[in-house]
Amino acid sequence: MSSPYTIPGSATGAPVCPRHPDRVTYVSCQRCGRPTCPECQRSAAVGVQCVDCVQQANKAVPSRRTIFGGVARAGRPMVTITMMVICVAAYALDLAIPNGFIFQNFAYAPFLTESEPWRMVTSAFLHSTDFLHIAFNMYALWILGNALEPAFGRGRFLAVYLVSAFAGSVGVLLLSPIDTAVVGASGAVFGLFGALFVAQKKRGGDVRQILVLLAINAALGFIIPNIAWQAHLGGLIAGALCAVAIAYAPAKNRNLIQWGGIAAVVVILVALTVYKVSTFPAFILG
């Protein structure tokens, strides 16, 4: 019976690469001993290993974690960049498509909560046609994302961002007139402000600059017209609460406590939404 790593019917029984049976090779993997062709060879500390052994070894190595339990990754903050790309693309589409199609179908207003609840999140990716609106939010998102995404990890950072965006709409639902129409990533951005404050506090850092920025931006919401301070407040509170669950979770069962805490914030937001909608007059819901 011939070896599974030899050419079938070969008189010499020459060794062949398991991945490429048509290639004869006399180089063996130092780990498993199987023949490995040049394409499947990987340099190791001692000799050569096959690509399968290298992949298996990489899986066995535990991934590096950040101080808050996220997977440590080098390079650019990809979630932050993705959120920015979506916002900019939506802004461009809103300018390109006439008659306010994007705004009419994806902006949020409290009276639309029961019939089109997805607007509570989609509105956070839209902006007014005023360029300063999107420019400020994208600048703040870039700064905050670069600080928080590497610390929290991609999954946790994305969760904080989306929950804060949802909470911004809940703030509008609870505190604004029922026909108030809102767009913008401000609720999510303020959520990141709240998360940064909590994370910085946990690490023992200076939070005075964050408080100054929050105070200035909060004041602008009352001074400049057409700014939904209600969304800022909702996002800020939710972002801070999510960050508390992430930053202060004990090492034991940390993932469970972190994601459970974030889920609890979502449940509270949903409960507030259902309660507020239940108080609307029937003719509005109709």
Pick the catalytic residue from 123, 127, 176, 232: 232
Which residues have a Cβ under 8 Å from the Cβ of 92 and sit 6 or more positions away?
Answer: none
**DSSP H helix total and E strand total for the chain:** 11, 2
Pick the catalytic residue from 123, 169, 176, 186: 186
| Distance (Å, whole) CA 245 – CA 166 | 18
3-state secondary structure of 241: helix
| Closest to 160 in 3D by CA, of 251, 273, 247 | 247
3-state secondary structure of 250: coil
- Helices (DSSP H) in 97-180: which residue ranges? 101-106, 119-122, 131-152, 154-175
| Closest to 91 in 3D by CA, of 52, 123, 49 | 123
Please indicate whether residue 2 is annotated as part of the active site. no
What does residue 35 show for φ and ψ, rounded to 5 degrees?
A: -65, 145
CB atoms closer than 10 angstroms to residue 19: 15
Please indicate whether residue 20 is annotated as part of the active site. no
Interior/surface letters 128-150, b for 16+ CB within 10 angstroms, e for the rest: beeeebbebbbebbeebbebbbb
Instruction: Give the residue numbers marked as catalytic.
Output: 186, 232
